[in-house]
Structure 1
Amino acid sequence: MLKQLSVAVLTAAGLLLPAAADASPARFLDQSTIPDLQRAMDRRQLTSEQLTRGYLRRIEELNPRLHAVVQTNPDALAAAKESDTRRRTHSSRSPLEGIPVLLKENTDTADRQTTTAGSTAMLGSRPAKDAFLVQRLRSAGAVVLGKANLSEWSNFRSTAQIPGWSGVAGQTRNPYALDRSPCGSSSGSAVAAAAGLATVAIGTETDGSIVCPAAATSTVGVKTSLGVVSRGGVVPITAQHDTPGPIARNVTDAALTLSVLAGADPADPASAAATFPKDLRLDRNALRGKRIGVWRKGHTGIDQQSDRIFESTVHTLRSLGATVVDGADVEDISWSVKPDLLPALLTEFKHDLNAYLAATPGDHPRNLSELIAYNDQHRDVEMPLFDQNLFVEANATDGNLNDQAYRRHRAAATGIAQRSIDDVLASNGLDAIVTLSGLPASPLDRPGDPRFLSSTRNTSVAGYPNITVPAGFAGPLPVGISFLGTKYHDAQLLSFAYAYEQATHARQAPRYLPAATG
């Protein structure tokens, strides 16, 4: 790979990253890991400045089709040059030194970039400081390359919302077939990672917002245990669910990035209790001797090609030395939590968003009522495709987190979700559960197959980890599988995902087809 990279550097102005899938520099960037890039930079075969210029050029070439990146950081090249200077004096700060990273556009930066959550109402927002996770990235030497598109307000404005659409940047497109959904809400982050617009991207999940777009774009998405990564400075839906995490083309890059992101934030109490190892070691033999439960109910028997991929996954797990336990189906909690979950979420959203808006400097709505009024006044820009019924319903609550009725709703929903996973793990003596992350991406203008039950609702409401990894293709469309487990088992699940990835190498680079046929 290093020889191939040298050719790329010699034959390009800076680092040429052509959009063509068969061009060798693009292949290098698609297949390389962060350690590969670090070795190249240590050997003076590549600089962070060249790498950053290459990604900026690739964004310029591909983003008009993909709408994955909202903005690039005008200070990115300066940060890359500073990183190169540090490297020359042997003062690299971490494995992310000089590595370009894209942020989801709901993540605060106190620089010349905006933080809008996809809404034109927030174009005047001027956060006073970097989000805690951004502070950690910068301290580690990562280059903040820019910000990625998302489903506006992280998919919590309307029940009719279109994944990947925002008033600020329009519709994100799936790079495997441009007529297919990128899923959401971290659509831009996943598409950018898949298309090689950055080495790694950061997403956030409240329910499926990392796992679904990562699976739809043949990338690795890490939905962490609640609090492993601080939510400080991230536009909220609810502190009871929100979890930032990495999206990358391979498990190695996702794990290294998470190792930098994870840490206790005094302003986020959930992060103080969270645990994640500082010296995470990924192991190709991690599945040997482990008991892995298979969750089929509600996920298989719907799409034949997805079933084929999943059965191949089960075979691979056995070949890697795992004991596969059938019948480890996790209860569909959609109906059992319904009386409690939505009332809790609506109350939390009003409380948390109002607090964020009130504390954020700049010219923008100061609370949810003003935000609703802004959308009504700018319907042509903000509501040409769907309404804001969730905003209206949330605003009708009192937003009081001390209310006893609210507390009962939250405790009931969280308890049901945690038991649905823990009981299956305990009764079967399991180390983890594996299932399909989702079906192949649906057309942009159609919802997904309603027969496929959520594979993220349980982990999201429980605050438990869920890691999706590429598993195969149904025609041109990716299919992912998820490893899920109990609280703070993130590192173990990453090792399982790594062992599976190394045995299968299922990921393929996108081809930017205008449409998926069949």
Structure 2
Amino acid sequence: MVFEFEEATIDEIQLAFKQNSLTSKQLVQYYKDAIEKWNPIIHAVILVNPDALALSEGDLRLRRSQTRCFPDCDCEEPPVPDCAKLRGIPVLLKDNIATKDKLETTSGSLALVGSVVPRDAGVVDRLRKAGAIILGKAGLTEWANGRSTSMQPGWSARGGTVQNPYQEDAFQGSSSTGSAVSVAANLVTVSLGTETDLSIIQPCSVNGVVGIKPTVGLTSRSGVIPLTLRQDTVGPIARTVSDAVHVLDVIVGYDPRDKITLDAAQYIPADGYKQFLTIDGLSGKKIANLWHHFKPIYDNDTDSPVPNIFQNNLKTLREKGAVVLDDLVVPDFDTIVAPDKSGESVAFKHEIKRDLNAYFSNLLESPVRSLADVIAYNKEHATEEMLEEYGQDFFEDAQATVLPSNAYTEAIQKLENFVKGFEKFMKDNDLDAFVAPEHAGATIIAIGGHPGITVPAGFDPRDIPAGSDPKGYPIGILFGGLKGSERKLIEIAYSFEQATKIRKPPIIPSQAA
């Protein structure tokens, strides 16, 4: 029986491994070939790990030896499916997640080429111990979209511009773009992205994949190039909710190098998140429908299919037993979603300078040692870094900040008040989650470190260029909740996904032509 690589899930891959109809080496080679063929078109991958095949060969030797299912595993005898779900599975990492190997970690910037990290990022250490194969580094918006307010989404000096695989001129999302596109285009099984505000949710929504933005602190940020540790989080990207959850189960947990993980560990269920992959997960859930908050956006776009798609999504939620509450008002909503009004931009500018400088100080070797150095480097290499086109105003504004600052203190206080208002809204209405169209609502959960999951919800078939995917480009749906509510969100997202099964692989434009 020939194994179907495209759209293969972790469970299907592990079954094929068990039946000896597939090896990790064959899987890695398939993805390497796919990257070689399609990456020149969609630019989703910056670099492939030159040791990936050797690592996959090591996985085969380990299986044949019938020793423990992976290094450092505490299981008594192999195979142990739950703890070994990622064994032999290729994973791409956003290029701001450090690896202590032949892959550089640069956040897409030429300024960090040649830098040497002290160790693997905390989440990478967990992936390796689980037997996952680090396939390479994914493209992104340079510096995770922290450099300027006019940056081209998905562009970096090292990787070029990541393209939506469904439609050449379609929006590709920002920041974790390559992580989402690589999974959507079947260049890898799963990937990791990072989110500060929108950075997992948005690219997953517009590229037809599942993204989990965990509670801040649920996953370690040690070894991750930061924007602001107050909001930064690392999360999985996959083609199915179950695959994303399998990755989440591996990467969550305490890391002494990221102290916030100690507090967040209280949210992690003893038996992992896989137990919440229940088909009837929507039954009885109370969900706030935030459509009315976003309706004005679509009133100005009368041809948009989003209103009808979202109303059909709500119908599905209700049919599967959810109690969907309309017209509940999130306090100060219009201010929260406007970073220049909420205080988010002010706080961010102070924190990016502080947190980036701390990251640079821990590098063993680096051409740059401060945000000021990066700004100077970009000026000296203006052509390569496309400084005239995209600028670096956010970096320059951040460099001009000073801590402590009354402006920063006031911004943080404003944000904390908005977060308290949102949490009160959720608790007073006894809500399990809220639901919003596309990636709308991501900022609400970003400023307070709350979790969210996006799932494919439909396609926009308008204005499809000749040779593009006839489905159009994807539209997602967002479920968000309070800190530690991942288990509820997983139940909701999985039940919705299984009821709709909207995800379809792209026909990459040049392939269609």
For residue 329 of structure 1, report the CA deviation from its aligned partner: 4.2
Q: Does 1:307 align with 2:283?
A: no
Residue 469 of structure 1: which of 441, 452, 455 is its match?
Answer: 455
Equivalent residue, structure 2, for 1:446: none
List per-residue Cα deviations over 1:289-328 (Å, max 9, x = no partner): 1111111124236153111110011100011011111113
How do 1:145-184 residues align onto structure 2 when only pairs under 5 Å count? Answer: 145-184=135-174
Match for 1:471: what amino acid? A
CA contact (8 A) 1:149 1:169 kept: yes
Q: Give TM-score scaled by structure 1 length.
A: 0.88
Q: Tell me the secondary structure at the aligned position of residue 158 of structure 1.
A: coil
How do 1:331-350 residues align onto structure 2 when only pairs under 5 Å count? Answer: 331-332=333-334, 333-335=336-338, 338=341, 340-350=343-353
Equivalent residue, structure 2, for 1:292: 287
Equivalent residue, structure 2, for 1:73: 49
Question: For residues 63 and 490 of structure 1, what CA distance do their matches in structure 2 show?
Answer: 33
Question: For residues 407 and 98 of structure 1, what CA distance do their matches in structure 2 show?
Answer: 47
Question: For residues 374 and 514 of structure 1, what CA distance do their matches in structure 2 show?
Answer: 36
Q: Give TM-score scaled by structure 2 length.
A: 0.89
Match for 2:419: what amino acid? A
CA contact (8 A) 2:123 2:219 kept: yes
Match for 2:188: what amino acid? A
Residue 395 of structure 1: which of 399, 408, 412 is its match?
Answer: 399
Equivalent residue, structure 2, for 1:487: 483
List per-residue Cα deviations over 1:257-309 (Å, max 9, x = no partner): 00001010111111111122242211011111111111112423615311111
Q: Tell me the secondary structure at the aligned position of residue 46 of structure 2.
A: strand
Distance 1:409 1:318, change over 3 A: same
Q: Does 1:429 align with 2:413?
A: no
Greater alpha carbon shift after TM alignment, 328-337 vs 243-252: 328-337
Greater alpha carbon shift after TM alignment, 263-272 vs 135-144: 263-272
Q: Tell me the secondary structure at the aligned position of residue 136 of structure 2.
A: strand
Q: Tell me the secondary structure at the aligned position of residue 430 of structure 1.
A: coil
Question: For residues 497 and 295 of structure 2, what CA distance do their matches in structure 1 show?
Answer: 21
Greater alpha carbon shift after TM alignment, 343-352 vs 139-148: 343-352
Equivalent residue, structure 2, for 1:324: 324
Question: For residues 340 and 306 of structure 1, what CA distance do their matches in structure 2 show?
Answer: 30
List per-residue Cα deviations over 1:352-371 (Å, max 9, x = no partner): 10111121122311101111
Equivalent residue, structure 1, for 2:464: none
List per-residue Cα deviations over 1:154-179 (Å, max 9, x = no partner): 00100111110001111000000022
Q: Which runs of 4+ in 1 moved over 6 A?
A: none
Question: For residues 324 and 35 of structure 2, what CA distance do their matches in structure 1 show?
Answer: 42
Equivalent residue, structure 2, for 1:279: 272
For residue 495 of structure 1, report the CA deviation from its aligned partner: 1.5
Q: Tell me the secondary structure at the aligned position of residue 380 of structure 1.
A: coil
Residue 193 of structure 1: which of 183, 186, 189 is its match?
Answer: 183
Q: Does 1:128 align with 2:118?
A: yes
Residue 386 of structure 1: which of 390, 395, 399 is its match?
Answer: 390
Residue 242 of structure 1: which of 220, 228, 232 is its match?
Answer: 232
Q: Tell me the secondary structure at the aligned position of residue 379 of structure 1.
A: coil
For residue 140 of structure 1, report the CA deviation from its aligned partner: 0.3
List per-residue Cα deviations over 1:127-161 (Å, max 9, x = no partner): 12100000000000000000000000000100111
How do 1:341-420 residues align onto structure 2 when only pairs under 5 Å count? Answer: 341-382=344-385, 383-398=387-402, 400=403, 406-420=408-422
Distance 1:54 1:384, change over 3 A: farther
Equivalent residue, structure 2, for 1:83: 59
- Structure 1 unmatched runs, 5+: 1-5, 9-24, 439-453
Match for 2:504: what amino acid? Q
Q: Tell me the secondary structure at the aligned position of residue 325 of structure 1.
A: strand
For residue 91 of structure 1, report the CA deviation from its aligned partner: 2.5
Match for 1:369: what amino acid? A
Question: For residues 300 and 315 of structure 1, what CA distance do their matches in structure 2 show?
Answer: 17
Equivalent residue, structure 1, for 2:250: 260
Q: Does 1:106 align with 2:109?
A: no
Identity %: 41
CA contact (8 A) 1:433 1:484 kept: yes
Distance 1:329 1:481, change over 3 A: farther
For residue 470 of structure 1, report the CA deviation from its aligned partner: 0.3
For residue 338 of structure 1, report the CA deviation from its aligned partner: 2.3
CA contact (8 A) 1:186 1:213 kept: yes
Greater alpha carbon shift after TM alignment, 33-42 vs 330-339: 330-339
For residue 494 of structure 1, report the CA deviation from its aligned partner: 1.2
Distance 1:86 1:226, change over 3 A: same
Q: Does 1:455 align with 2:445?
A: no
Distance 1:294 1:340, change over 3 A: same
CA contact (8 A) 1:200 1:249 kept: yes
Question: For residues 418 and 51 of structure 1, what CA distance do their matches in structure 2 show?
Answer: 47
Greater alpha carbon shift after TM alignment, 329-338 vs 193-202: 329-338
Question: For residues 326 and 42 of structure 1, what CA distance do their matches in structure 2 show?
Answer: 48
Question: For residues 58 and 209 of structure 2, what CA distance do their matches in structure 1 show?
Answer: 30
Greater alpha carbon shift after TM alignment, 270-279 vs 383-392: 270-279
Question: For residues 260 and 315 of structure 1, what CA distance do their matches in structure 2 show?
Answer: 34
Equivalent residue, structure 2, for 1:451: none
Equivalent residue, structure 1, for 2:498: 502
Q: Tell me the secondary structure at the aligned position of residue 286 of structure 1.
A: coil
CA contact (8 A) 2:147 2:393 kept: yes
Question: For residues 395 and 480 of structure 1, what CA distance do their matches in structure 2 show?
Answer: 36
Equivalent residue, structure 2, for 1:14: none
For residue 90 of structure 1, report the CA deviation from its aligned partner: 5.2
Residue 117 of structure 1: which of 93, 107, 111 is its match?
Answer: 107
CA contact (8 A) 2:339 2:345 kept: no
Match for 1:283: what amino acid? T
